[in-house]
Amino acid sequence: MKIVVLNETPSGETRVALVPESIRKLVALKAEVVIESGAGAHAFVSDADYQEAGASVSSDRQQLLESAEVLVAINRPRALDLAALKKGAVVIGFLRPLDEPAALEPVVSRGLNAFAMELMPRITRAQSMDALSSMATVAGYKAVLVAASHLPRMFPMLMTAAGTVSPSRVLVLGAGVAGLQAIATARRLGAVVDAYDVRAAAGEQVRSLAATFLEVDLGGIQTEDKSGYARELTEEALQRGRDLIAKHARSADVIITTAQVPGRPAPLLLTEEAVAGMKPGSLVIDLAASTGGNCALSKPGETIVHNQVTIMAPLNLAASTPVHASQLYSRNIAAFLALLIQDGQLKIDLNDTVVGPACVAGPGGYVNARVAAALEQSATP
């Protein structure tokens, strides 16, 4: 079975889908791995490192695409790359199945088998394959470092001969994987941290990191779906959250926003008025920018300054830490591939509790019901 890894094409992407430690594992499963020359360069993995781990290296991208049985990527491959794959080939990556379903239409119509890392079920058995969590961990960590280096203040409380320096205050919105990592990192740097989330379970996790959980009465509504994700809230419940956030934004030096609802635009949590109430020199980092952002003033991919408040909306913070981001992603992919390989051959069992839910399009014309619904919705004018 031939597994192919190509250079990622989106600009600014530095990660690579497989690193040598995973290639050794895949070779032990009797798979053949071929890497496009230079694919690991930005993550500091050379062609020679790949060869040493048992992969071969080629510069013929077109031939690699045409011969791939499995194409492993980070970002959804370009339409022209998907078009070069043979029928029945497998594509694995962040395919954006729910927010950009139309781009996957060629995958369905061309009879490819596709697995989206976003659809990996959040069950114990799939934890080692949870690439969303891996990347959210990196982004949450890095957001705090970016904030700390950009802020015109220090994070920790310092007692010096020249007197005491008060600690910075960090407000984290959305205490899921990225938010909790941001809280932990900000606490390690000595900041005082407050956090808000709609899921009650997040409160305990926030408090266990010695941060304060901001609570608001949302009117007893159901805020969580059965898989543990937040639901899209009513406008009234959202507004109660916004009022609480606006109040706490006034004393925050840094606000890191991470709130997302799978398959939906990110909730608006930080309004223009709330930003207007923030201190001069303070900073917002919006990690939900790829789904529209949590801050009304965020411009995805850009940094703006509004009334002396800096608002950053990075789209791929994980790519600023390519070594560890690639390592974690590669481990997630290798763990998933181990479910698809049997005696060196590809075996797709849609009844498997991980393989089935992660599948966007599969053998026999199978199309994931959530993706089919999203496709239908995107086709309706």
> What residues act catalytically?
122, 127, 130, 133, 229
At 2, give phi and psi (nearest 5°).
Answer: -100, 120
CA distances from 81 to 86, 201, 313 (A): 11, 42, 29
Secondary element (H or E) of residue 341:
strand 341-342
Q: In this chain, which residue has its C-beta nearest to ligand NAD? A: 176
Q: Which residues of this chain interact with ligand NAD, rule CB under 6 A? A: 122, 127, 130, 132-133, 136, 173-179, 196-199, 201-202, 228-230, 233, 238, 241, 258-262, 267, 269
Work out how close the CB of 238 gets to ligand NAD at its nearest, in angstroms, rounded to a whole number: 6
Work out how close the CB of 40 gets to ligand NAD at its nearest, in angstroms, rounded to a whole number: 27
Work out how close the CB of 163 gets to ligand NAD at its nearest, in angstroms, rounded to a whole number: 37
Q: How far is residue 139's CA from residue 177's CA, in Å, rounded to a whole number?
A: 10
Q: What tokens were used for 298?
A: 């965020």
Rama region for 241: left / alpha / beta (φ>0; ψ in -120 to 50; rest): alpha
Please report, as a single letter, which amino acid is at residue 34: V
| Cβ contact 24:53 at 8 Å | yes
Work out how close the CB of 240 gets to ligand NAD at its nearest, in angstroms, rounded to a whole number: 10
Work out how close the CB of 314 gets to ligand NAD at its nearest, in angstroms, rounded to a whole number: 15
Q: What tokens were used for 121?
A: 């079920």
Coil, strand, or helix at residue 112? coil
CB of 32 or CB of 99, closer to ligand NAD: 99
Secondary element (H or E) of residue 64:
helix 61-67
CB of 65 or CB of 288, closer to ligand NAD: 288
Secondary element (H or E) of residue 3:
strand 2-5
Q: How far is residue 32's CA from residue 38's CA, in Å, rounded to a whole number?
A: 18
CB of 85 or CB of 289, closer to ligand NAD: 289
CB of 82 or CB of 246, closer to ligand NAD: 246
Q: What tokens were used for 331?
A: 């481990």
CB of 133 or CB of 298, closer to ligand NAD: 133
